[in-house]
Amino acid sequence: MTYVQMDTHMRTERLDIRIDSERRRKLQELVESQGAPISEVVCRLIDVAYEDTLRSRRRKAAEALAQLELEDVPDPGTLSRQLGERPWVRLGPSGP
């Protein structure tokens, strides 16, 4: 892997991928419509997919909490502390 110093705050990594001709055509269409380099378009697509994943995780976590049918829901700080005390509850990027 090759690292390139972009500025003092960001290091980039070179990534070689293989895509079929249909995906390449679609990527080129995105590049042209956005007027951005391929690398920037791919980075944006990764960011969007990642945010979608986080949004899905949050939705699933909210659904799990809703299924608990709590009558007296504590304030967010108390709930956070209570959930943090439970070793089987995993919060964060690979959470519920």
Q: Report pLDDT digits (tens) over 28-86.
A: 999 999 999 999 999 999 999 999 999 999 999 888 877 877 777 778 888 777 777 65
Alpha-carbon span 26 to 14, nearest angstrom: 21
> Is 12 within 8 Å of 4 (Cβ atoms)?
yes
Residue 92: predicted pLDDT: 54
Q: pLDDT for 5-24, tens place per residue?
A: 445 567 889 999 999 999 99
Q: What is the DSSP letter of 9?
A: S
CA 47 – CA 37 distance, rounded (Å): 16
CA distances from 73 to 7, 37, 52, 79, 85 (A): 47, 49, 28, 8, 17
User: In the beta sheet, which residues pair with residue 11?
Assistant: 5
* Confidence at residue 74, expressed as pLDDT on a 0 to 100 scale: 78
